[in-house]
Amino acid sequence: MIRDRALQTRQKLVDRLPVTGEVLRGSLLERVVRHRSGCPKCSRGEGHQVFVLTVSYAGGRTRQFSVRRERVAEVRRWLGNYQKLKEAIEAICELNHDLLRPDAAAPKGGRKKRD
Ligand SMILES: [Zn+2]
């Protein structure tokens, strides 16, 4: 039955949910900061590479957090965890749309023909 199959698929998705507290929402941006004067590195045109985590909120508000270089790999991993978790939740929601259909919800176990 379609409903049973949908429930089985949903359970598989739930079992595979990458549940972890190590999640972050946002984007990690790489920027170059250049000092106007007094910095030999910047006067050579190199500048300083910095990483910024940008998080946007409803209403267009955003927050920015500077991320130390040594934590960049970790932040990327946490952002990836969030995306995986989000994708898994979205897939489950899509499946639940199927379960909301009147046909799938019928608990009778098949349709009976009326004569
Ligand atoms: Zn500089």
Under a CB-based contact definition with an 8 Å cutoff, are residues 3 and 105 in contact?
A: yes
**Most confidently predicted of 35-39, 72-76, 84-88, 97-101:** 72-76
Look up the pTM and report it.
0.74
DSSP state letter for 21: S
Cα gap 45→65, rounded to integer Å: 25
Residues with C-beta atoms within 5 A of ion ligand 1 = 35, 39, 41-42
Out of 2-6, 61-65, 106-110, least confident range:
106-110
Ligand 1 center from residue 31 Cα (angstroms): 13
Show the tokens assigned to 104.
């799938």
Q: With bands split at pLDDT 50, 70 and 90, how would you rate the model's confidence at 34?
A: very high
